[in-house]
Amino acid sequence: MTDDRNGLRNVLVTYGRHPKTLAVVRSLGRSGREVTVTDDIGWSIAALSRHCTRQEMLPSPIAQPRAYLKELIELVDRWHVDIVIPMDDPECDLMNEFVKCGRLGAKLALMTGDSYCIARSKFRTQQLAHKLGIDAPKTILLEDGSSASAIGEQIGFPAVIKPAKGSGSRGFRIVQRGFSSEDLSDMINRTGPVVAQEFVPNGGSIGVSYLFDHGTMKAFFTHRRLMEFPETGGPSTVRESTRNPEAEGIGRLLLEGLKWHGVAMVEFKIDARTSKPKLIEINPRFWGSLQLAVASGVDFPKLLCDLHEGRDMPTMTPYRLNVRCVNLLPHGIASLAARGGFRRSVALLQQCLNSRCYDVESFSDPKPTIAAILSLARYAASEEIVDKFYSR
């Protein structure tokens, strides 16, 4: 299938509605690759990029997993796809299970097996961190309502409750004394098992992104979040390239312990009491702030394909610092529209004026911006606007 003279020229990416997928499409299109974009909606922002070769609609990996896999395999064969890059948790989980007993017919740009499962589980990630001597919040797994008392006994209040698997702000909640078994049961019924985690006073958020080759680091990139939506903990609306050698070393140690292969992003909270980074979780796939890394000089999508082609990886060179990137669509607009958001609105507008980098907006590739505006116009102004924009 793969032409050894040309490498992995035909790439398929999933979850075309997300800005991070748009960053991948633009990067790989500029590198001369053909890119097929899939989603379970008829059109998406990434599919409308001038760098997208074709778009295909597939069943939902959540509602119709067997049909999704069947049609994906047929699509890989029809278009002679060389490599598949799954972009979001549902298809990553599905493909991780599938490759144990099935054949995709193309390379899969995803770490699989137990290392993936550890990275996907916030509880198992924290277990590994403690084994390696990494500073991380105390974390316990809660699988039913009767374990609510363990929060106060083992964690203390305030505590953070969030799904054991998942990303972003969905299901995130800070709880105080009085959090009942009924409250916990309701959360578990909606999200599945959850973890309770020691509350870390917020001194800032750091993300360190990596490319690994079978346990050896090949590239990294660090960013800090300047603004988030919602402010209690959610996707970043403004972020900036930076360095944090301590966090970079911790993330490297963690992924070396997993013998990682491919991309991942390790998230940290800076403890306001100590100014030290504390490990929060691992994203075992591409992350929401990907465009900032590309704009700063670390082109992870191209590097990932080069890695799977077996190319000699270049020596890591310094990236540009203090580059700012704004996620105006959809998170920034949601921030502007949310009730009581005047202060956020002024701050975000100031950041927009000081930035030349945006997740979606591009004069040279304008159609995704138009598509994002039309999508947002369908939704009411509320803090749920982001979930509606990404829902499937």
pLDDT above 60 for 383: no
Q: Where in the chain is the domain with CATH 3.30.1490.20?
A: 138-198
Of 76-80, 151-155, 340-344, 378-382, the range with the lowest mean pLDDT is: 378-382
Q: Which helix (H) or strand (E) holds 385?
A: helix 385-390
Model confidence pLDDT, tens digit, residues 169-212:
667 888 888 888 998 999 899 888 999 999 999 899 999 999 99
Residue 9's pLDDT is what? 93
- Regarding pTM above 0.85, the answer is yes
Do the beta carbons of residue 319 and residue 239 sit within 8 Å? Answer: no
Of 82-91, 176-185, 380-389, the range with the lowest mean pLDDT is: 380-389
What values do phi and psi take at 89, rounded to 5? Answer: -55, -45
Residue 298's pLDDT is what? 97
10-117 folds as Rossmann fold (3.40.50)
138-198 folds as Dna Ligase; domain 1 (3.30.1490)
Q: What share of the chain in percent tops pLDDT 70?
A: 89
Residue 272's pLDDT is what? 96
Q: What is the DSSP annotation of 230-281?
A: STTS--EEEEEEE--HHHHHHHHHHHHHTT--EEEEEEEEEETTTTEEEEEE
Q: Where in the chain is the domain with CATH 3.40.50.20?
A: 10-117
Of 7-11, 64-68, 69-73, the range with the lowest mean pLDDT is: 7-11
Residue 2's pLDDT is what? 40
Q: Which helix (H) or strand (E) holds 309?
A: none
**SS3 state at 219:** strand
pLDDT above 70 for 71: yes
Longest dimension (CA), the chain: 64
316 burial (CB, 10 Å; 0-12 / 13-18 / 19+) is middle
Model confidence pLDDT, tens digit, residues 252-291:
999 999 999 999 999 999 999 999 999 999 999 999 999 9
Split at pLDDT 50, 70, 90, the class of 337 is low
Closest-CA residue to 118 (of 165, 162, 154): 165
